[in-house]
Amino acid sequence: MTKITQIKALLSLIVLFSFSIVTAQNEPQCGTIPTPESEKFFQNSLPQVRQFEQEYYQKTLQRSSTAVSSVPVKIHVLRTDEGAGGFTESTVNTIISDMNTYYANAFLEFFICDVINYIDNSELYDFSTDEQDALTLTNNVTNVINIYFANSVSTAEGGGLCGYAYFPGGPEVILMDNSCALNGSTMPHEMGHFFGLSHTHGNVNGTLTTELVNGSNCDTDGDFICDTPADPQLGFGNVSSSCNYVGNATDTNGDDFLPEPLNIMSYSRKACRTLFTPGQYARIYGVYQASRSVMACPSFNVDLTASFTRECSDTMTVDFLDNSIGATSWEWDIDGDDVIDYTIQNPSHSYSGAGGYDVTLTISNGSESLTKVYQDYIIVGGETTNTTQVVLTLVTDDWPAETSWVFRDSAGTALYTSPDYIEGDDDFSSFTETFDIATNECYSFEMIDSYGDGICCSSGNGSYTLETLEGDTIDGGGNYGFGKIVYMANNVLNTDDYFSNTTISVYPNPTQDILNIKLSNTNDLPDSYNVYNMLGQIISSKKITQADDLRLQTNTFSNGVYYIELMKENSSSTIPFIKN
Ligand SMILES: [Zn+2]
């Protein structure tokens, strides 16, 4: 199967996502519902999610901060007409805190937004899926995860469910059967669906997975995650009470399945499910960053802005503005090292040293605190260049349509973007692009591979190089997964640099016999000057020791264009002039 048809197969599998429940098992299962919106959403967001997954792996290796972002959940507890039954607040707290032990690995932590909403309605207390509108239209809080705890949950046909949720793009609703909510695995399982995780046996229940044991189609079949082994659908019947797989199913190659009975996203025995894989955590993190990070509790929420987030030179002063709701105290870690740097509401901070910095703000209202991590929020400096043009040379692999790039200035404006490389026409081809750049400005260049395999080496030896006009290499490679970004700062002078603080001009221009150099500050003279002709030959040089040295005799020069280069310590500034 080609890569394209594999992707089509993946999409059609998601369309087939069904509500069916396997009744042969002794435990009620999960009834997560697909919607056309969520299927479309999944297709559209997958490239971005995969880029964030790449970032997740980098973060787990390199991240200095261990802070986790607070995600709001609204708790709704169903009770009888008389207010009987239903969870207490302390039970709910235990369920959420147990779930948080897993999601900390995806850098997330759930917190309960406002007080618990008790719904006293005997009809809804034993909940049927066809009553969802009646329940949620009057109770849902927008832009938070609404978790409803019911005495029982069943399909409209009467089949028992442990719970259900929606994929991203669907409603922000999770229904939980109370007894299942206490088993320790159904709550993190349903939240997994909310963050885009499929069952390890795939999105179709009761049909043998097409994912192969040898892993060759792991990213397009089954749960579309490669570090979860192919799962023939675990259940009470093929998992022993000691949590071992005891089935004997084989895939279409005849290979014996070796599924993971501990995986939370499987249909294994509930008590056995205690494991998410790194690939699953990466998917959760990716979906959060791509589509769920804007969730906010209306009464208590972390939010901030900054005066600048990108600076070309290696020093930068940033004024932070707190836009949080409900805060009475603030803790800022403005450089991602887990150390609190400021406790005032609106700090100002001077960064020195090139790099990307995480900013973490924790707010408190006196009894609770919330945290939000803004990954790589502040970018300072970058690869130093001194040129007028940057040249991109790209050699595509066998899948050119997966490749794109964008060249941005410091404001984030895309100055140059890739053409659409055409599958079939542009395979294994070489392209050269030239980007005009300015001095005292910084840029970012991003290479993107929508499939996540770079352009080297499984489908051809593609590569790219980014060079200055003079041939100095800025960046390059081909083995970059979903993509990479490089920051560069072009001829950026430090603020203590003489020529960035001194305005220089020459007059009269054109000149006949005398050329005057005018300085904005005559108390601090340049060291010397050279005069060049059009051929780059030095035709005059002088040390500058007094103000009189700023007058040049040009009567001996032949008519034409000249350049005067003024030098001070290690820097210089060049101005053209005309002799006639
Ligand atoms: Zn499920």
State pLDDT tens for residues 374-399.
Answer: 887 888 888 888 888 999 999 999 99
More confident residue, 315 or 341: 341
Q: Domain 304-376 is classified in which CATH homologous superfamily? A: Immunoglobulins (2.60.40.10)
Question: 199 CA to middle of ligand 1, Å?
Answer: 6
Residues present in the chain in total: 580
Does pLDDT of 29 surpass 70?
yes
Strands 483-490 and 441-449: antiparallel
Question: 182 CA to middle of ligand 1, Å?
Answer: 16
Question: 200 CA to middle of ligand 1, Å?
Answer: 9
Question: 30 CA to middle of ligand 1, Å?
Answer: 4
Question: 154 CA to middle of ligand 1, Å?
Answer: 14
Kind and range of the H or E run holding 55: helix 36-62
User: Fold match between 51-197+276-298 and 498-579?
Assistant: no
Domains in the chain: boundaries: 51-197+276-298, 207-264, 304-376, 383-490, 498-579
Question: Are the C-beta atoms of residues 502 and 520 closer than 8 Å to each other?
Answer: yes
Question: 287 CA to middle of ligand 1, Å?
Answer: 17
Question: 162 CA to middle of ligand 1, Å?
Answer: 9
Question: Are the C-beta atoms of residues 493 and 387 closer than 8 Å to each other?
Answer: no
Question: 18 CA to middle of ligand 1, Å?
Answer: 11
Does pLDDT of 63 surpass 70?
no
Question: 195 CA to middle of ligand 1, Å?
Answer: 12
Question: 374 CA to middle of ligand 1, Å?
Answer: 30
Question: 20 CA to middle of ligand 1, Å?
Answer: 11
Cα torsion through 208, 212, 215, 221, rounded to 10:
-50
Q: Look at residues 218, 236, 87, 234 and name the one whose alpha carbon lies nearest to residue 147.
A: 87
Question: 481 CA to middle of ligand 1, Å?
Answer: 29
What pLDDT does residue 234 have?
96
Question: 482 CA to middle of ligand 1, Å?
Answer: 28
Those residues whose C-beta lies under 8 Å from the C-beta of residue 108, and which sit 6 or more positions away, are: 68, 69, 71, 284, 285, 288
Question: 185 CA to middle of ligand 1, Å?
Answer: 11
Question: 193 CA to middle of ligand 1, Å?
Answer: 6
Question: 233 CA to middle of ligand 1, Å?
Answer: 12
Question: 16 CA to middle of ligand 1, Å?
Answer: 15
Question: 189 CA to middle of ligand 1, Å?
Answer: 6
Among 45-54, 124-133, 180-189, 229-238, the minimum mean pLDDT is found in 45-54
- Does this model's pTM top 0.75? no
One-letter amino acid identity for 32? T
**Chain segment 141-165, per-residue pLDDT in tens:** 999 999 999 999 999 998 999 999 9
Question: 150 CA to middle of ligand 1, Å?
Answer: 17
**What gap in Å lies between CA 267 and CA 237, rounded to an integer?**
11
Question: 177 CA to middle of ligand 1, Å?
Answer: 13
Cβ neighbours around 143 below 10 Å, total = 16
What pLDDT does residue 571 have?
73
Question: 205 CA to middle of ligand 1, Å?
Answer: 10
Question: 21 CA to middle of ligand 1, Å?
Answer: 10
The answer to whether domain 498-579 has CATH 3.30.70.360 is no
The overall average pLDDT reported for the chain is: 87
What is the CATH class of 383-490? mainly beta
Question: 2 CA to middle of ligand 1, Å?
Answer: 29
Question: 120 CA to middle of ligand 1, Å?
Answer: 27
More confident residue, 312 or 418: 418
Question: 31 CA to middle of ligand 1, Å?
Answer: 6
Question: 312 CA to middle of ligand 1, Å?
Answer: 47
The answer to whether domain 51-197+276-298 has CATH 1.10.530.10 is no
Question: 202 CA to middle of ligand 1, Å?
Answer: 10
What pLDDT does residue 17 have?
37
Question: 462 CA to middle of ligand 1, Å?
Answer: 40
∠ CA 135-137-143, nearest 5°, is: 110
Cβ neighbours around 69 below 10 Å, total = 23
Q: Look at residues 525, 526, 530 and name the one whose alpha carbon lies nearest to residue 562.
A: 530
What pLDDT does residue 306 have?
87
Question: 319 CA to middle of ligand 1, Å?
Answer: 45
One-letter amino acid identity for 269? R
What pLDDT does residue 88 have?
96
Does pLDDT of 8 surpass 80?
no
Question: 5 CA to middle of ligand 1, Å?
Answer: 26
Question: Are the C-beta atoms of residues 453 and 416 closer than 8 Å to each other?
Answer: no
More confident residue, 125 or 526: 125
Question: 219 CA to middle of ligand 1, Å?
Answer: 19
